[in-house]
Structure 1
Amino acid sequence: MKVLILIYALSYLCNDVVGKIQQLIYYGDYAKIGKFPYTAHLGILCYMEKKKKIPWICGSSILNQALLLTAAHCLETCRSETEIVASVGHERIMKGGVSTGHSFVLHENYDDEVLNHDIALVRLKTHIRFSSNVSRVALSKKLRPFTNKDKALVAGWGISEKGSVSARLKYVPQYVWSQKLCIKLLDSMNPGTFCASSDDGYAAEGDSGSGLVIHGYLQIGLVSYKTTLYQSIIVYTNTGFYNKWIMKESKKLMCIK
């Protein structure tokens, strides 16, 4: 069974959280935003059918002043009028600079049953201002091979063990596995995905869409899901595999008035 790494919360304009939820980066260490300046927190008020509105949070990465990259399942049931607020530039969510969403697009072949093509773009209405704590991530132009020794970092905002919002950025190292080993352990893998894990912690609820980065600036994946077989193994959408889609859809999204 695949488990979406997304949490439901009350309004992203307050600090309350509904129900019992896990830390977003489970275990891991607290981080300064300067180490992850490309990271953006997404507060989403999803407008669904029959006037139903449900709020939740996701992670994302900054592509430029107007575009963010995230997971498709963060927005899969949301209508176009959905409200999105991005917080950037600070390790504490409520102290970050705020930009509001203009529009978004999911991969046209996204499949919510098997979480295939789990990738989406968000266009911002108010542009992000770059600084020492806010910058864009670099994307690989092609699918790169992985070994069992590749080390990367994933960052997200956390919830304390008591269930209250800490709203502080946390990070954890991830070791990317070869596709052969991923398939051996998980039985199957969607095209354009890979898996990674760590003994130090793992991405958990609320981290969907957060970028997996190597060398401090190069994004190789984004958090998609984990399986119930292995709690610490996270499946990532391979952003290098979707580079052409990202470039094409970014241009189209920026043309929407």
Structure 2
Amino acid sequence: MASILFCFLGSLLLLQALEVRSKSMERIVNGKQAAEGQFPYIVFLRVLLNDSCLSCGGSIIANDWILTAAHCTQRAQRVIIYYGSIEIAKAQVVVEVQASSIIQHPKYDRTVLTNDISLIHSKWVDFNDRIQRIALPKPKQVGESFDAQWSLVAGWGSTFDYKLVAIPELLQWASLHITPKHWCKVAYPHITENDLCAGSPYRQSSCAGDSGGPLVLIKENIIVGVTSHGHGLGCRYGFPGVYIRVSKYLDWIRENSNVTS
């Protein structure tokens, strides 16, 4: 437990380094506890830096590829990937990779978190009922907004802003409504066409989800977003969160991983 807590301290240091408008997402607020096998495509990432570590989420998009956020991997020396359980300590498979296995988007900008997306090349992991991939959007969906559709996020982050004692032992999840871009721009003037926003009228954390974790469209069960950042005031005040729009990066994903769907 001490090593996990240390990783979250590292995450909070990253939060404080960003501008007040835009903080990395490190928690599910007002969420629900996941059941085993409910989110077989999500993995827990322990990102080891030179002198600390970060805790993030990631998504399985192939037997040997993980999709996550670039701000999770930007200074990584190694990454430990935990597959196949809602409880980190009971992971079915644990894989450790070196920095050479990380492919970060070349145009990632840490100041405003644009192009906040990375790939991690893992060893081959066999699928089962607890370990599965999540489908990518189809190429024809590149221009689709997904506005007003319902989605799911999940993660192991703190359940209250900045309170380490609230870190859950088990995976938490929430339902979020994808927010029209013009509403999102009110809270985040810096967002681009490569971002989307999602929030909840019930304050199930308008910036819910661990950094790097998936935003999954309920209707089609495809990953439409990678959890990037939330409002600087915190996750309990009704602001939507910002997610990297996966459909805009399909060519980049294919070119670097050969994953196409």
Q: What do the CA deviations read for 1:76-124 (whole angstroms, capped 9, x no partner)?
A: 123xxx1211111111111012122241011011111111110000111
- Do the aligned residues in 1 keep the contact of 2:28 with 2:174 (CA within 8 Å)? yes
- Do the aligned residues in 2 keep the contact of 1:25 with 1:170 (CA within 8 Å)? yes
- For 1:156, the equivalent position in structure 2 comes to 155
- For 1:99, the equivalent position in structure 2 comes to 95
Which letter does structure 2 place at the counterpart of 1:178? P
1:222 counterpart SS class: strand
CA distance in 2, matches of 1:106, 1:27: 31
Which letter does structure 2 place at the counterpart of 1:83? R
**Does 1:132 pair with 2:129?**
yes
- For 1:6, the equivalent position in structure 2 comes to none
Normalising by structure 1, we get a TM-score of: 0.81
Q: What are the ranges of 5 or more consecutive residues in structure 2 without an aligned counterpart? A: 13-24
Normalising by structure 2, we get a TM-score of: 0.79
Which structure has greater strand proportion?
A: 1
CA distance in 2, matches of 1:230, 1:150: 24
2:248 counterpart SS class: coil
- Do the aligned residues in 2 keep the contact of 1:57 with 1:206 (CA within 8 Å)? no
How much does 1:183 deviate? Answer: 1.8
- Do the aligned residues in 2 keep the contact of 1:172 with 1:200 (CA within 8 Å)? no
Pairing of 1:32-111 with structure 2 (within 5 A): 32-47=35-50, 53-78=51-76, 82-96=77-91, 97-102=93-98, 103-111=101-109
CA distance in 2, matches of 1:187, 1:230: 17
Q: What do the CA deviations read for 1:207-241 (whole angstroms, capped 9, x no partner)?
A: 10000001373000010011226743200000001
Assess, with a 3 A threshold, how the Cα gap between structure 1 residues 184 and 218 changes in structure 2: closer, same or farther.
Answer: same
2:3 counterpart SS class: coil
- Do the aligned residues in 2 keep the contact of 1:16 with 1:164 (CA within 8 Å)? no
CA distance in 1, matches of 2:26, 2:47: 18
- Do the aligned residues in 2 keep the contact of 1:25 with 1:203 (CA within 8 Å)? no
- For 1:211, the equivalent position in structure 2 comes to 214
- Do the aligned residues in 2 keep the contact of 1:110 with 1:117 (CA within 8 Å)? yes
CA distance in 2, matches of 1:183, 1:165: 30
CA distance in 2, matches of 1:88, 1:223: 19
Which structure has greater helix proportion?
A: 2
**Does 1:202 pair with 2:198?**
no
Q: What do the CA deviations read for 1:59-88 (whole angstroms, capped 9, x no partner)?
A: 00001111100000001123xxx1211111
Which letter does structure 1 place at the counterpart of 2:102? F
Pairing of 1:108-257 with structure 2 (within 5 A): 108-124=106-122, 126-140=123-137, 141=139, 142-146=141-145, 148-159=147-158, 163=165, 165-198=167-200, 199-202=202-205, 207-215=210-218, 217-228=221-232, 231=235, 232-251=239-258
How much does 1:149 deviate? Answer: 2.2
1:219 counterpart SS class: strand
How much does 1:24 deviate? Answer: 2.2
Q: What do the CA deviations read for 1:173-215 (whole angstroms, capped 9, x no partner)?
A: 1100111222234333123001111124227697100000013
